[in-house]
Structure 1
Amino acid sequence: MKFGRKLKLTPHQQDQVRAMLKDGQPIRAIDRHFNVGVATIDRIKRKTELS
């Protein structure tokens, strides 16, 4: 059983966000594209940097 809130972005969309960040696109443009907050994109970015 998984607790907590459901993810806003699917794993496939998260991979797309990582690719867009790698290409140098601004976080604000990415969050508007996926209709999520800046914090969601920043969280994915931080998680990627730790890996």
Structure 2
Amino acid sequence: MTQRPLPEKICPICLRPFTWRRKWVDCWHQVIYCSERCRRQKKSRRAATE
């Protein structure tokens, strides 16, 4: 049996692709960042680019 490929998104902070996880089954459309570390860096990254 072959598995279907999992959905992917690109993290706007580290620019790496990340795949769907079971814990995101109900909120995949709301997931933006690949990790807690990237989520915490969103403010400092945004300020550095402006």
Q: What TM-score, normalized by structure 1, do the two folds share?
A: 0.29
Bigger helix fraction: 1
Q: Which has the larger radius of gyration?
A: 2
